[in-house]
Amino acid sequence: MRHLLVWTLAAAAALAAAPTAPVAAPAATGSADCPRLSGTWYGDNRARLQQVIDTQGTCAGRPRDTRPVAAFDWDNTITKNDVTDATLVWALTHDELLRPARWKDTSAWLTTAADEALTAACGSGAGAPLRTSANPRCADEILQIRENGTTVSGAPAFAGTWNHRRTVPQYAWVPQLFAGRTPAELSSYARRARERALAAPVGSVQRVGTRTVPAYVRYYDQQRDLIRTLQRAGFDVYIVSAGSEPVTEVWSRGVGVDARHTLAIRSVLDRHGRITTRNEGCGGVPASRGEAIPYIDGKRCWINQEVYGVRDAAAWQPQDARHRPVVAGGDADTDVTFVGDATGAHLVLNRNKSELMCRAYDDADGRWVVNPMFIEPLPRKPDAYPCATTAYNAPDGGRGPVRRPDGSVVPDRTDTVY
C-alpha cells in the first residue's frame, strides 16, 4: 500500500518478523472533538479511517442537516460468518420451512433437475412443515443449492437469463424458502439462531443433514466500534445486504443500526401478511421473483433509492459526490460497486474475492483501505488476482478484465494484506 505511515525501526522489525500480523495504528492527529476509533487494525488503517471521520463528520464543522453517510455490507463484513445462512440452518434443524405446492414455484430460474431433486428428497404439497431435522436428504439438497447453485448430484439448480450484476438466484432463493411464514416468525427464527451462534465457540461447526457447516457467528469488535464512532461523529450509518431483511434487522440492532437503516432483500407479503416468493424491486424494476436484489450494482441502486431518493433507472447510475456514501465497506464482489462509490474511504476485508481485491489493490484514488478478516484471516493468496483477464463479473454471466473509469485495464495484482 502506498499510503503507509513511516514506521519506527522497532515497528518495522516487528512487522518483518510477522508480516501478516495486524498492528495497532498510532492515534490520528485530527480534531480532539471527534470521537476516536479504538482496537487493533492492520498497518495504518485505523489512522486513515480516523482522518476521514475527523474531516468529514459533524465534529469537523459539517452542519447537522447535512449528515454524511456510511454504508456497510453485513455478512463477513460486520460479522464473521453469514447470518442468513445461520437462520436457514436453524430453520432446517427445527422444521420451520413450509413445503411449497411445487418447488418450481420458489424461483423463476429453478431447473427441472432441481425441481425433481427437491421433490424426491423433500416431497411436495403446500403447507406442511418440512421435517428436515429427520430427513438429511432434504436438508442436503437445500443447502447444496443455496451454497453452490447445484443439486447434490451436480446438476445446475438454476438456468435462464438474469443480470448477473443485479441478482444471483441462489441468494434470492433463501427468503423465498420462507414463503408462508410472516416476517415476525422469520425474525423469531433469526433471534434464536443468533443466540445459538453467538454462544458457539469460535471455529466450531455443526452437522446439518450430512453436511458440516459453521456453528458460530461473531460481531467484529473493530467494526462495531467503527459504526459507533461514525454515529457519534454525525454519520448516518446504513447496512446494505444481499440477505433477508427481517434476519439482517435482528443482527443490525446489535451494532446500533435500526430497521430504517437496514437495507436487504424485502419480500412482498400476501394479503394475510405472509412472505411470498416475490421481492420488492429497485430502480424502476418492479416486484419480481428476484430480478433485482441488493447484489453488486443492486447495492448501489438500493442506496441511491432508499438513502438519497433517486428513482427509476437513474438509481443504477453513480451519483455526484454529495449523493454518495463517504465511507463504505465490504468483503466480496457483491460489494464492489457501492464500496467503489465512496468518496472518503473504501474499506475492504480481504476474503480473496477477485473483482473487489483488484479494485482495492489498484487503489486508483488512493482511498482504498484493505484489512485482513479480524477473526480467522485467510492466508496469502498464492496466485495473482486475474484482474487483466477474468476478474470482472459481466452482466451476462461472463468474465472479463477489470477496467478503470478511463477504460484502461487493471493489471494482475498480488495479495499483500492478509
CA atoms within 13 A on the CB side of 223: 33
Q: Which amino acid is at 165?
A: R
Residues 320, 395 within the same domain: yes
Q: What string of DSSP letters covers 57-111? A: SGGGT--GGG--EEEE--BTTTEES-HHHHHHHHHHHTT-PBPPS-GGGG-TTB-
User: CB under 8 Å to 320, separation ≥6 — which residues?
Assistant: none
User: CB under 8 Å to 330, separation ≥6 — which residues?
Assistant: 72, 73, 77, 336, 338, 339, 347, 348, 349, 356
What per-residue confidence (pLDDT) applies to 19?
Answer: 37
What per-residue confidence (pLDDT) applies to 392?
Answer: 98
Mean pLDDT by 10 residues, the chain (418 residues): 35 35 41 85 98 92 85 98 98 98 96 98 91 98 98 98 98 98 98 98 98 98 98 97 98 98 98 98 97 98 98 98 98 98 98 98 98 98 98 98 97 98
Residue 52 and residue 345 in contact, taking contact as beta carbons nearer than 8 Å: yes
Residues 196, 336 within the same domain: no
What per-residue confidence (pLDDT) applies to 32?
Answer: 58
The CATH number covering residue 47 comes to 3.40.50.1000
Whether 3 is covered by a domain: the verdict is no
* Structural domains of the chain, count: 2
Strand partners, 86: none
Residues 104, 229 within the same domain: no
What per-residue confidence (pLDDT) applies to 396?
Answer: 98
- Long-range contacts from 404-407, C-beta under 8 angstroms, 24+ separation: 404/362, 404/364, 405/364
What per-residue confidence (pLDDT) applies to 31?
Answer: 54
Whether 405 is covered by a domain: the verdict is no
User: CB under 8 Å to 383, separation ≥6 — which residues?
Assistant: none
User: CB under 8 Å to 12, separation ≥6 — which residues?
Assistant: none
Residue 284 and residue 301 in contact, taking contact as beta carbons nearer than 8 Å: no
Residue 129 and residue 94 in contact, taking contact as beta carbons nearer than 8 Å: no
Q: In 71-98, which positions are buried (b, 16+ CB within 10 angstroms) versus exposed (e)?
A: bbbbbbbbbbbbbbbbbbbbbbbeebbb
Last residue of a domain, one of 180, 199, 214: 214
Residues 112, 40 within the same domain: no
| Burial of residue 224, with CB atoms counted within 10 A of its CB: 0-12 exposed, 13-18 middle, 19 or more buried | middle
Whether 176 is covered by a domain: the verdict is yes
Whether 320 is covered by a domain: the verdict is yes
Q: How far apart, in whole angstroms, are the C-alpha atoms of residue 304 and residue 308?
A: 5
Residue 314 and residue 304 in contact, taking contact as beta carbons nearer than 8 Å: yes
Whether 63 is covered by a domain: the verdict is yes
Residue 189 and residue 90 in contact, taking contact as beta carbons nearer than 8 Å: yes
What per-residue confidence (pLDDT) applies to 3?
Answer: 39
Q: How far is CA 267 from the centre of its chain?
A: 18
Residues present in the chain in total: 418
Residues 70, 110 within the same domain: no
Whether 287 is covered by a domain: the verdict is no
Last residue of a domain, one of 171, 193, 214: 214
Q: How far is CA 7 from the centre of its chain?
A: 33
What per-residue confidence (pLDDT) applies to 22?
Answer: 41
Residues 123, 36 within the same domain: no
Residues 73, 88 within the same domain: no
Whether 37 is covered by a domain: the verdict is yes
Residues 188, 199 within the same domain: yes
Residue 252 and residue 261 in contact, taking contact as beta carbons nearer than 8 Å: yes
Residues 391, 308 within the same domain: yes
Q: What is this structure's pTM?
A: 0.91
Q: In 106-132, which positions are buried (b, 16+ CB within 10 angstroms) versus exposed (e)?
A: bbbbbbebbbebbbebbebeeeeebeb
Which domain covers residue 192, as residue numbers? 83-214
Residues 75, 90 within the same domain: no
Whether 156 is covered by a domain: the verdict is yes
Residues 391, 378 within the same domain: yes
Residues 50, 103 within the same domain: no
Residue 276 and residue 288 in contact, taking contact as beta carbons nearer than 8 Å: no
